[in-house]
Amino acid sequence: MSSTSTIDVIVEEITVKAPAERIFAALTDPAQRVAWWGLKGRFETKHMESDLRAGGHWLMSGTGMGGKPFEVHGVYRTIERPRVLAFTWLPSWDTEATETLVRFDLSERDGVTTVRLTHSGFAGEGSRTRHQGWPQILDWLKGYAES
């Protein structure tokens, strides 16, 4: 697994020994998604709704840290089954959050699929005042931490 994160974009990549279609289904089928998306005792997904079409809503809810309920929801932006899945992301647990964009790119080769996740928009035009200027702020921080 590799990860890079520039100033305001998170990128994570993992290789899965399965066809892209299998992974796409695990991401978008509610029954499958609740089976894997979570960390025991920290973030357990119990319920998902998914209107799988561009502009369709999705919602995921469950139990977070300390048994506190959480909910995250958004709208599907890009669906190119089984290669691309992009949706907006608005979590309930983070009071500082504004709507950001999550994108999965699946590239399959010989039955092995590279899954690349990109979480962006922390400082983009999709988010509002709260995040504007973050790239600059993080840039300062980097300068400060490295000096």
Rounded Cα distance, 147 and 79, in Å:
44
Binding other proteins (rule: CB under 8 A), the pick from 29, 30, 32, 59 is 32
Rounded Cα distance, 99 and 97, in Å:
7
Which of positions 95-124 make contact with other proteins (CB under 8 A)? Answer: 95-96, 115, 117, 119, 122
- Contact 75/50 with Cβ under 8 angstroms? no
CB nearer other proteins, residue 42 or residue 55: 42
The answer to the question of residue 83 lying near other proteins (CB under 8 A) is no
The answer to the question of residue 41 lying near other proteins (CB under 8 A) is no
CB nearer other proteins, residue 77 or residue 116: 116
Stretch that binds other proteins, among 46-54, 57-65, 80-88, 129-137 (CB under 8 A): 129-137
CB nearer other proteins, residue 55 or residue 68: 68
CA distances to 5, 91, 135, 140, 144 from 147, in Å: 20, 35, 18, 11, 5
The answer to the question of residue 84 lying near other proteins (CB under 8 A) is no
- Contact 43/65 with Cβ under 8 angstroms? yes
Rounded Cα distance, 146 and 48, in Å:
42
- 117 Cβ partners below 8 Å, 6+ apart? 10, 11, 12, 13, 102, 103, 104
Given the rule CB under 8 A, which residues bind other proteins?
1, 3, 5, 8, 10, 12, 14-18, 22-23, 26-27, 32, 35-39, 43, 94-96, 115, 117, 119, 122, 129-130, 132-134, 136-138, 140-141, 143-145
